[in-house]
């Protein structure tokens, strides 16, 4: 065991060496860090404007549809994009906490607790963000010819519609028709 000022000096000097080493070799180049800062600035600027954000996303969807009609291809890219967006939609529509049994208390038990009827598993902002990024990536993919893989697109459309129907039927229980109550006597 080393005692005295020299031991403390060695520990401090070695800590400074390692912190200088860590600071000297950053994990990201300066260009990427500046891009991240600019993207975060834009993200923070558009966060409070929900209508504008979704209008921009609808514009991207229309641009993507136009791009697909012009190229008459990229059906597999469209299918993968549709599956991803369906997955995000299910997360958006799902509650954050699903009660396991009917004996669990859903209403607040104390006056200080707040009753929250529906908390989403995926917030609206994160849903918009993932949809917009997915659309950007899909649009970029339509400019690479090696991603235009020949497939039988009617089968993909039929499979997607069936998958969408089954997923929404399971996720959102909608009863069609008028409910009839019978009296138990």
Model pLDDT for residues 68-94, shown as the tens digit of each residue: 999 999 999 999 999 999 999 988 888
What pLDDT was estimated at residue 127? 94
The residue range of the domain holding 123 is 28-97+119-171
What pLDDT was estimated at residue 178? 58
What pLDDT was estimated at residue 1? 47
Other Cβ atoms within 10 Å of 61 Cβ, number: 16
Looking at the domain assignment, is residue 36 inside a domain?
yes
What pLDDT was estimated at residue 75? 92
What pLDDT was estimated at residue 129? 94
Residue entry with tokens 């020299």: 6
- This prediction's pTM: 0.66
Instruction: Read off the tokens for 178.
Output: 């008028």
Better pLDDT: 182 or 12: 182
Across all residues in the chain, what is the average pLDDT? 79
3-class secondary-structure state, position 119: coil
3-class secondary-structure state, position 64: helix
Axis-axis angle for helices 124-141, 50-71 (nearest 10):
20
Asked if residue 10 has pLDDT above 60, the reply is no
Asked if residue 171 has pLDDT above 80, the reply is no
Asked if residue 18 has pLDDT above 50, the reply is no
Domain total for the chain? 1
pLDDT band (50, 70, 90) for residue 61: very high
Looking at the domain assignment, is residue 85 inside a domain?
yes
- pLDDT tens-digit map of 91-128: 888 877 755 544 455 555 666 666 666 677 888 999 99
Looking at the domain assignment, is residue 164 inside a domain?
yes
Rounded to an integer, what distance in angstroms lies between the CA atom of residue 133 and that of residue 56? Answer: 12
Looking at the domain assignment, is residue 103 inside a domain?
no
Cβ neighbours of residue 125 under 8 Å, at least 6 residues apart?
47
Q: How far is CA 47 from CA 41, 57, 61, 86, 140, in A?
A: 10, 13, 20, 23, 24
What pLDDT was estimated at residue 153? 86
């Amino acid at each position: 065991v080393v005692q005295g000022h020299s031991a403390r000096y060695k520990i401090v000097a070695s800590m400074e060496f390692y912190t200088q080493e860590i600071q000297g070799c950053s994990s990201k180049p300066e260009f990427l860090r500046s891009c991240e800062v600019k993207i975060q600035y834009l993200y923070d600027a558009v966060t409070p404007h929900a209508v504008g954000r979704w209008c921009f996303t609808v514009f991207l969807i229309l641009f993507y549809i136009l791009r697909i009609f012009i190229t008459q291809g990229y059906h597999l890219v469209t299918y993968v994009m549709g599956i991803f967006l369906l997955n995000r939609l299910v997360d958006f529509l799902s509650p954050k906490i699903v009660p396991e049994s009917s004996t669990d208390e859903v209403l607040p038990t104390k006056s200080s607790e707040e009753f929250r009827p529906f908390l989403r598993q995926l917030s609206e902002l994160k849903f918009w963000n993932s949809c917009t990024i997915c659309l950007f990536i899909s649009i970029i993919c339509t400019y690479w010819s090696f991603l235009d893989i020949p497939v039988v697109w009617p089968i993909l459309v039929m499979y997607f519609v069936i998958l969408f129907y089954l997923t929404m039927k399971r996720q959102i229980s909608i009863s069609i028709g008028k409910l009839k109550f019978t009296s138990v006597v």
